[in-house]
């Protein structure tokens, strides 16, 4: 078992780290505070090919393995977690279109998604249903060669940039079990009746927009049904979310690493009672615990990613990585704040942003409690195991 990155993965990490240090870190605090959309950063991400991470090479993408994907998200999140969101649900959508799209959908969308000319996201959550996706109310009714979509989605990241936006709906609301009547439609921007109605005010995760949107008799051709067959939507989405959890876990590792780095640096500079605070055992214990948990979270994330790369279903592994890494990120953000004392509470220091960004990873792509139930089901049913 090799726990080291390959030479290619290290090269990718170094390239992204350089980009983050040169172009993201210098502007992150100011742009995040202003709530400014980082267009210039997105443009460089396009030049680096990062919109094509999950697009097959035949369509001009990078076809990155999941460990490489984790490395990219980790590095970007070290500089500014919000920026990772621009290619987060976009990559998930690319993966889903590449895996389940008809040949027409793949050739129509993937080449431009790979370059960033087109962007994407994923619209699952509704005002009345988030964890309980089988409880969604958005519908698609067949009307000749078309479908009419009606409903409301909320908390949709990248909604103003997405084209197409995959939308989870019920094509047969009476189906039992409910998932048998669920489908995904690739809705193109500008389709009449499809409207982004507001940007949601957020604690953190600034940079990308997160929106509420309305679908009012949105008429889409039957060719917009992902994969061309009704009733596959929930299965398509759940498989894509496994890759999404790797990206969330990796972002959490990035936030935890940055919290640790900031705490270590500050502890080596700040003096109290005539010595550096890094000389106090209480501070040393915090730093040691942060480092141990951070590295454990990283290894768990790479392991889950490697399981997917080896072609296994990895709901257990990606769930474990996401739960653990996100809770480590939250803990490290709080510890880093404490090491900074009063300055940790200041908007002039990075740790306050880490403290605001970390909770998203606990909530997004399945709350940690929901994932614990998924992990437990996998273990008790014998489908998954550890050891
Ligand atoms: C900044 C941000 C960006 C987001 N971006 C997107 C996006 O791009 N696309 C998208 O579709 N969604 C997005 N989401 C939505 C996110 O995925 C949901 O918020 C999440 O899945 C939880 O759903 P909910 O908010 O409806 O909470 P609920 O499902 O109402 O859960 C509320 C609480 O009840 C608990 N709970 C619910 N059911 C159970 C159960 N069976 N057992 C134990 N506990 C339970 C949950 O763990 C949670 O603690 C985003 C959210 C945020 C905050």
Please indicate, yes or no, whether residues 185 and 209 belong to a single structural domain of this protein.
yes
Q: Is residue 125 part of a domain?
A: no
Angle between helical axes of 351-363 and 81-100 (0-180°, round to 10) = 30
Q: For this structure, is 348 an active site residue?
A: no
How many angstroms separate the CA atoms of 324 and 226, rounded? 32
Task: Look up the CATH number of the domain holding residue 333.
Answer: 1.20.140.10
What pLDDT score does 387 carry? 83
Please indicate, yes or no, whether residues 104 and 178 belong to a single structural domain of this protein.
no
Please indicate, yes or no, whether residues 279 and 361 belong to a single structural domain of this protein.
yes
Q: Is residue 152 part of a domain?
A: yes
**What domain range is 302 assigned to?**
235-380
Specify whether the CB–CB gap between 246 and 69 falls below 8 A. Answer: yes
Residue that has been written with the tokens 């994907």 in this structure: 69
Q: Which residues line ligand 1 (CB under 6 A)?
A: 89, 121-125, 130-132, 155-157, 202, 205, 210, 360, 363-364, 367, 369-370, 373
How many angstroms separate the CA atoms of 356 and 345, rounded? 11
Considering 198, 231, 264, which residue would you say is the last residue of a domain? 231
pLDDT in tens, 210-228: 999 999 999 999 999 999 9
Chain-centre distance of CA 27, in angstroms?
22
Q: Which residue among 83, 125, 233, 375 has the greatest number of ligand 1 atoms within 8 angstroms of its CB, and so is best to mutate?
A: 125
Which residues of the chain carry a pLDDT beneath 70? Answer: 1
Considering 213, 231, 249, which residue would you say is the last residue of a domain? 231
Please indicate, yes or no, whether residues 376 and 260 belong to a single structural domain of this protein.
yes
| Tokens representing residue 122 in the block | 């994923």
Q: Is residue 120 part of a domain?
A: no
How many angstroms separate the CA atoms of 90 and 73, rounded? 13
What pLDDT score does 219 carry? 98
What pLDDT score does 115 carry? 98
Q: Is residue 366 part of a domain?
A: yes
* 56 Cα: distance to centroid of ligand 1 (angstroms): 30
Q: What angle do CA 377, 381, 383 make, to 5 degrees?
A: 95
The torsion region of residue 113 among left (phi > 0), alpha (psi -120 to 50) and beta comes to alpha
What pLDDT score does 384 carry? 87
* 131 Cα: distance to centroid of ligand 1 (angstroms): 5
Q: Is residue 328 part of a domain?
A: yes
What pLDDT score does 14 carry? 98
Q: Which of 75, 209, 352, 365 is catalytic?
A: 365
Task: Look up the CATH number of the domain holding residue 109.
Answer: 1.10.540.10
Please indicate, yes or no, whether residues 163 and 252 belong to a single structural domain of this protein.
no
Please indicate, yes or no, whether residues 208 and 253 belong to a single structural domain of this protein.
no
7 class by beta-carbon count within 10 Å (0-12 exposed, 13-18 middle, 19+ buried): exposed
| Tokens representing residue 130 in the block | 């988030």
Considering 181, 207, 231, which residue would you say is the last residue of a domain? 231
pLDDT in tens, 376-385: 999 999 988 8
Please indicate, yes or no, whether residues 13 and 88 belong to a single structural domain of this protein.
yes
pLDDT in tens, 137-187: 999 999 999 999 999 999 999 999 999 999 999 999 999 999 999 999 999
Residue nearest to atom 25 of ligand 1 (CA): 130
Peptide bond into 301 cis (omega under 30): no
How many angstroms separate the CA atoms of 216 and 40, rounded? 34
Task: Look up the CATH number of the domain holding residue 139.
Answer: 2.40.110.10
Instruction: Provide the domain count of the chain.
Output: 3
Please indicate, yes or no, whether residues 227 and 240 belong to a single structural domain of this protein.
no
What pLDDT score does 316 carry? 94
Chain-centre distance of CA 300, in angstroms?
17
Specify whether the CB–CB gap between 195 and 214 falls below 8 A. Answer: yes
Q: Is residue 306 part of a domain?
A: yes
Instruction: Record the pTM.
Output: 0.98
Using only the alpha carbons of the chain, give its radius of gyration: 21
Q: Which residue among 363, 368, 377 has the greatest number of ligand 1 atoms within 8 angstroms of its CB, and so is best to mutate?
A: 363
Q: Is residue 317 part of a domain?
A: yes
Please indicate, yes or no, whether residues 165 and 219 belong to a single structural domain of this protein.
yes
Q: Is residue 124 part of a domain?
A: no
Please indicate, yes or no, whether residues 180 and 194 belong to a single structural domain of this protein.
yes
Please indicate, yes or no, whether residues 258 and 334 belong to a single structural domain of this protein.
yes
Please indicate, yes or no, whether residues 73 and 108 belong to a single structural domain of this protein.
yes
Integer angstrom CA distances of residue 27 from 39, 40, 230, 296: 12, 11, 45, 30
């Amino acid at each position: 078992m090799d726990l080291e990155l390959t030479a290619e993965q290290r090269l990718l990490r170094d390239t992204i780290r350089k980009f983050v240090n040169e172009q993201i870190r210098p502007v992150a605090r100011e742009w995040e505070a202003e709530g400014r959309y980082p267009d210039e950063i997105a443009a460089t991400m396009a030049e680096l090919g990062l919109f094509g991470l999950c697009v097959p090479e035949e369509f001009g993408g990078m076809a990155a393995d999941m460990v490489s994907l984790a490395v990219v998200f980790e590095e970007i999140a070290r500089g500014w977690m919000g920026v990772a969101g621009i290619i987060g649900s976009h990559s998930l959508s690319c993966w889903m279109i590449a895996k389940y799209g008809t040949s027409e959908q793949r050739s129509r969308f993937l080449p431009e998604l790979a370059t960033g000319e087109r962007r994407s996201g994923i619209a699952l959550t509704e005002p009345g249903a988030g964890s309980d996706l089988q409880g969604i109310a958005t519908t698609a009714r067949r009307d000749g060669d078309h479908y009419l979509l009606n409903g409301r989605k909320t908390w949709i990241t990248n909604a103003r940039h997405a084209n197409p936006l995959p939308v989870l709906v019920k094509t047969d609301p009476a189906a039992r079990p409910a998932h048998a009547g669920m489908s995904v439609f690739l809705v193109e921007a500008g389709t009449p009746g499809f409207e982004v109605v507001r940007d949601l005010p957020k604690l953190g995760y600034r940079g990308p927009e997160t929106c509420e949107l309305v679908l009012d008799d949105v008429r889409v051709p039957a060719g917009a049904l992902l994969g061309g067959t009704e009733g596959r939507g929930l299965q398509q989405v759940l498989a894509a979310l496994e890759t999404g959890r790797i990206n969330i876990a990796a972002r959490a590792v990035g936030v935890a690493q940055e919290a640790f780095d900031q705490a270590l640096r500050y502890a080596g500079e700040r003096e109290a009672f005539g010595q550096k605070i890094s000389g106090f055992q209480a501070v040393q214990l915090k730093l040691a615990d942060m480092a141990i948990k951070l590295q454990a979270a990283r290894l768990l994330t790479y392991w889950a990613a490697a399981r997917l790369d080896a072609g296994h279903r990895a709901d257990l592994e990606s769930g474990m990585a996401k739960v653990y890494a996100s809770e480590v990120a939250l803990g490290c953000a709080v510890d880093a704040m404490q090491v900074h004392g009063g300055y940790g509470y200041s908007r002039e220091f990075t740790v306050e942003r880490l403290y605001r960004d970390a909770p998203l990873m606990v909530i997004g792509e399945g709350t940690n409690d929901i994932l614990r139930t998924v992990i437990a089901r996998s273990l008790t049913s014998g489908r998954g195991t550890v050891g």
